[in-house]
Structure 1
C-alpha cells in the first residue's frame, strides 16, 4: 500500500472540518449525526474516523482553529511590542474576527461552541486555556502601556487585560445575531476609547 503524504492527510482533515462546519451551522451540534458528516464530506466512515474519533473531536478542532488566528495576533503584538494604543491592538483583533466571520460564519460557530461548552468539560477546558493565554498576552501589552504612562498603573495589568478580553465575546455575539451594519462602528469605537498617546 503506498504511503499517504502529510499533505494528503491535511487536505482530508480540512475537508472533514469544512463539512462539519456546514452541518453544524445548518443543523446544530446535537442534530448533526456522524452519518450526516460522512455524507457532507463525501468520505467514508473509515476516512473520517481516521482523523476524528468522534463528533466532539471535530467540535474541539473547530473551536481551536477559530481562536488560533486571534491568539496568534495578540501574541505577536505582545511579543513585538509595537508602538500605538491598546485600542489599536483590540481593534485589530476585532477586524480579524469580523473578516473571518464574513468568510465562514465564524461568529455563529463560536456562539454554538460556547453553548456546547456548558455541557462539554473538554471544550470548556479548551476555551479556558485559550482565553487565559489571550489574557496573559494582552497583559504584556497593557504593562508596556502602563510603563509609558499611557494607561493607569494603579490597576493591575491582568485586571485591565481581563476587561479587554471581555470585549471579544460581546462583539462575536453581535456579529452572529445582528445585521452587520449595526456593529460596523464598533472597531472605531474601541480605537476612540483607547486612543494612541499624543506623542506616539
Structure 2
C-alpha cells in the first residue's frame, strides 16, 4: 500500500478547514451539521474524522489559525524600528485578514456570503456559550495583544507616541478599532481598507485648540 505523503495530508486538512469555514460563515454554527461539511468538501465521514473529531474541533482550529495569522502580522511589525504608523499598520493587518479570506489560509471571500467578518461575528457569539471555545479565543487574544503592545512600545521608544499612557491601553484600543471595522463589514456591507486608514489618519492629526 502506497504511503500517503505529508503534503497530501496537509492539503486534505486544508480542504476540510476551508469547506467548514465556508459553511459556518454562510449558515452559522448551529445550523451547520457535519453532514453539511462533508457535502461541502465532497469527502467521506471517515476522511474528515481522521483530522477532526467533530464540529467543535473544526471551529477551534479555524479560530486558532486566524488569530495566529493576525499575531504574526503584528510581531513582524514589532521587529521594525520604529514600527510603521498606526494607520499603515492596521491597514496592513486588515489586508492580511482579507487575504486569509480571499484565497489565503481560509477559503472565504470578502464580499461573498461566506465572508471572514461574518464568520468572526459568529465566533464571538459562540464563545459566550462555549467554555472551551471561549478559552481558545482568550488565549489567542492574549497573544495578539502582546504583539500589539510591543508595537506600541516601539512607538514610545522612538518618541512617536506619548510614553505616559500604558502601552496595553493603546494596544487594546487599536485591537478594538480593527474588530469594530470587521463588525461593520459583517453587519453593514464591505468597505475598502482605506476607510479605516483615513479614519486613523484623521484622529492622529488632531491638535490642541490654539
Q: How far did 1:163 drift? A: 1.6
5+ residue gaps, structure 1: 196-200
Give CA deviations for 1:52-109 in whole Å, capped at 9, x if unaligned.
Answer: 0010011111112222222111011112334532332222212323454466211111
Give CA deviations for 1:126-148 in whole Å, capped at 9, x if unaligned.
Answer: 21112111211111111121122
Q: Distance in 1 between matches of 2:19 and 2:166?
A: 44
Q: Distance in 2 between matches of 1:2 and 1:183?
A: 47
Residue 187 (structure 1) aligns with: 197
Secondary structure, counterpart of 1:180 in structure 2:
coil
Residue 198 (structure 1) aligns with: none
Q: Would the aligned equivalents of 2:149 and 2:167 in 1 still touch at CA under 8 Å?
A: yes
Residue 126 (structure 1) aligns with: 136
Aligned alpha-carbon RMSD (Å): 2.1
If the length of structure 2 is used for normalisation, what is the TM-score?
Answer: 0.83
Query: Kindly tell me: are residues 83 and 74 of structure 1, through their superposed partners in 2, closer, same or farther at Cα, counting changes over 3 Å?
Result: closer
Residue 111 (structure 1) aligns with: 121
If the length of structure 1 is used for normalisation, what is the TM-score?
Answer: 0.87
Moved >6 Å (runs of 4+): none
Q: Which of 162, 166, 169 lines up with 1:156 in the alignment? A: 166
Q: Distance in 1 between matches of 2:117 and 2:101?
A: 5
Query: Kindly tell me: are residues 181 and 77 of structure 1, through their superposed partners in 2, closer, same or farther at Cα, counting changes over 3 Å?
Result: closer
Per residue, is there more helix in 1 or in 2? 1
In the alignment of these two chains, the number of paired residues is: 195
Q: Distance in 2 between matches of 1:191 and 1:94?
A: 16
Q: How far did 1:113 drift? A: 0.9
